Amino acid sequence: MQLVVASNNKGKILEIAALVAGVDLLSLKDIGFTDEIPEPYNTFEENAYAKASAISAFCGLNVFADDSGLCVTALGGAPGVDSAHFSGERNDEKNLQEVLDRLKQYDDRSAFYKAVICLICEGAVYYFDGVCEGSILYEKSGDGGFGYDPVFVPDGYTQSFGTLPLAVKNQISHRAKAVRKMVEFLALRIK
Catalytic residue numbers, as ranges:
67
Smallest gap from Cβ 67 to ligand IMP, in A, equals 4
**Contact status, residue 25 vs residue 186, Cβ threshold 8 Å:** no
Q: Which DSSP category does 35 fall into?
A: P
Is 154 an interacting residue with respect to ligand IMP (CB under 6 A)? no
Contact 147/173 with Cβ under 8 angstroms? no
- Per CB under 6 A, the segment of 26-34, 61-69, 97-105, 136-144 that binds ligand IMP is 61-69
Alpha helices for 68-108 (secondary structure H)? 92-103
Stretch in the footprint of ligand IMP (CB under 6 A) among 22-30, 68-76, 99-107, 178-186: 68-76
Cis peptide before 150 (omega within 30 of 0): no
Min separation Cβ 23 and ligand IMP, Å:
21
C-alpha–C-alpha distance, residues 6 and 118, integer Å: 10
Q: Is 162 in the site for ligand IMP (CB under 6 A)?
A: no
Residues that bind ligand IMP (CB under 6 A): 9, 39, 67-70, 83-84, 95, 113, 145-149, 173, 175
